[in-house]
Structure 1
Amino acid sequence: MAITSNISAIKQYDPAATAKAAQDVTSTKDLTQNFLKMLTVQLQNQDPMNPTDTASMTTQLAQLNMVDGINKMNTSMGSLLSQIQSSDFINMSTTVGKYAMAPSSNINYDGSTPVNLAAKLASDASNVSATITNELGQKILEVDLGAANEGVVNFSWDGSDAAGNPVAAGMYKLLIASTTTDGKEEKPTAYVSSRVATIGKNGTAIEVNLADGRTLTPSEIAQWVA
């Protein structure tokens, strides 16, 4: 008994067909169409004494459909992520000109604008002190912040030294020390604020560029200061 085949009717990829160069014939859609055509031909021409296992064919078709669904979902998720990133960038652009508080011990004093500072305590303290030194390491000012609870303690420096005289513009360093309620000495994290100069992008990551030269990610900013 002769068995005929219509397999030649299956769509073939022709690399010379420039009109179809933009079409991806290896896409899930094309694979599914080819699979259905092959399935039809096989069913029409199968040996009655040894029929093709249609269950396995159906499983393959289901897998192709699942892959197609995953690809579509990935495309949708990628589009949604792109929209969220664009929205975040636009929202961050509204912070230009505001003051961001972030971890740092360096104060870039401009000679006139008071600087907002902070100390982050890991535990309750019976006493917290802040020391400001110049580039030579000489003490300019020491401030007793008193007792404070665990968390962020805010204060500001108006640019004066211990005698109340204004200091020159330049780089200064902030040192924080504390004594816990059980008598332990600690070095809390120092925070320094600076004006947001620009908002930029590094790939898909948003960068916050401060006037004092620091470049931060939004997650590094602990506070926004008016």
Structure 2
Amino acid sequence: MTVSASTSNDYVKALQQASNPSASAPNKQMGQADFLRLLTTQLQNQDPNKPVDPKDFVTNLTQMSQLQSTNNLNTSMQSMVTGFQGLQTLQAAGIIGKSVQANGQDVTFTQGQDSQFRLSPQAGQNLTDVKVVISNDGGVVKNISVGDLSGDKTLNWNGTDDSGTTLGDGTYKLTAYGTDSNGDIKQINTVVGTKVNSVAIANDGTMKLTLATGEQVSMDAVREISQ
């Protein structure tokens, strides 16, 4: 059997419509104009001997009014959400260029200056055999043994690798973990000091900050703001 190009195209289109029913499905949302048209048609075609009950007519009008009120409320709520997001953006813009302490995994090292970061386990979490792994694009460069950890702890890194060689300037990634009382491995939040470069709203409406390290974090990741 020979299949022509047009037949093949029709077959593909049919498959696409079958896999995406919404593409060919009618719009199921009825607006105020549709409701009013339906009500008018009902009145025009009613049986003169059995006219529409006035109570039913009033009920239909009430439903139409409720539909319009709901649509107006949805529009108003959307406007409020948009306005609130705009206000959040303006407020967050005030921290652009400021120094912050934020939950993040990227830390910057400059030769001659120690890099400082903080380990911040969950409240009430007591961990043992805590370790911090520092890496770059080439892999792991430094392993730091911390021991036990029951609260926040500040650490300094002088930029040397495991062999004692001083590394170059750049951004390095932190990974901290420890063992809890059940013997399970738990990751530990690392808090780094950096600056805020920009603020943006993500697709889900949440606020995102781009740090000087290039890392993006949510607004609630910020622990401290300073000049």
TM-score, scaled relative to structure 2 = 0.62
Mapping 1:156-171, distance limit 5 Å = 156-157=155-156, 159-161=158-160, 168-171=168-171
* CA–CA distance in structure 2, aligned partners of residues 50 and 142 of structure 1: 89
> What is residue 115 of structure 1 aligned with on the other side?
116
Shift in Å, 1:65: 0.4
State how many pairs are aligned.
Answer: 189
**What letter matches 2:116 in structure 1?**
V
Match status 1:28 vs 2:27? no
Contact 1:107–1:192 at 8 Å: present in 2 too?
A: no
Match status 1:138 vs 2:138? no
Distance verdict in 2 for CA 1:51–1:143, change over 3 Å: closer
Distance verdict in 2 for CA 1:95–1:172, change over 3 Å: same
> What is residue 217 of structure 2 aligned with on the other side?
216
Distance verdict in 2 for CA 1:166–1:85, change over 3 Å: same
Mapping 1:87-102, distance limit 5 Å = 87-96=87-96, 97-102=98-103
Contact 2:100–2:222 at 8 Å: present in 1 too?
A: no
Mapping 1:60-99, distance limit 5 Å = 60-96=60-96, 97-99=98-100
**What letter matches 1:120 in structure 2?**
P
Task: Give the share of equivalent positions with the same residue, in percent.
Answer: 16
Distance verdict in 2 for CA 1:154–1:32, change over 3 Å: farther
> What is residue 178 of structure 2 aligned with on the other side?
178
Shift in Å, 1:132: 3.6
> What is residue 55 of structure 1 aligned with on the other side?
55
* CA–CA distance in structure 2, aligned partners of residues 181 and 225 of structure 1: 34
* CA–CA distance in structure 1, aligned partners of residues 104 and 213 of structure 2: 13
**What letter matches 2:190 in structure 1?**
Y
* CA–CA distance in structure 2, aligned partners of residues 127 and 146 of structure 1: 6
Q: Which moved more, 1:158-167 or 1:130-139?
A: 158-167
Contact 2:128–2:180 at 8 Å: present in 1 too?
A: yes
Contact 1:125–1:147 at 8 Å: present in 2 too?
A: yes
TM-score, scaled relative to structure 1 = 0.62
**What letter matches 1:191 in structure 2?**
T
CA RMSD, aligned part only?
4.0
Distance verdict in 2 for CA 1:91–1:159, change over 3 Å: farther
**What letter matches 1:118 in structure 2?**
L
1:128 to 127, 130, 134: 130
* CA–CA distance in structure 2, aligned partners of residues 147 and 174 of structure 1: 17
* CA–CA distance in structure 2, aligned partners of residues 170 and 185 of structure 1: 33
* CA–CA distance in structure 2, aligned partners of residues 154 and 95 of structure 1: 26
Contact 1:130–1:145 at 8 Å: present in 2 too?
A: no
* CA–CA distance in structure 2, aligned partners of residues 133 and 71 of structure 1: 54
* CA–CA distance in structure 1, aligned partners of residues 74 and 58 of structure 2: 24
* CA–CA distance in structure 2, aligned partners of residues 57 and 157 of structure 1: 77
Structure ID, larger Rg? 1
* CA–CA distance in structure 2, aligned partners of residues 181 and 205 of structure 1: 35
Shift in Å, 1:178: 2.3
Q: Deviations over 1:161-220 (max 9, x none)?
A: 4899975312434342424346x262423424232111134555533111111123324x
Shift in Å, 1:34: 10
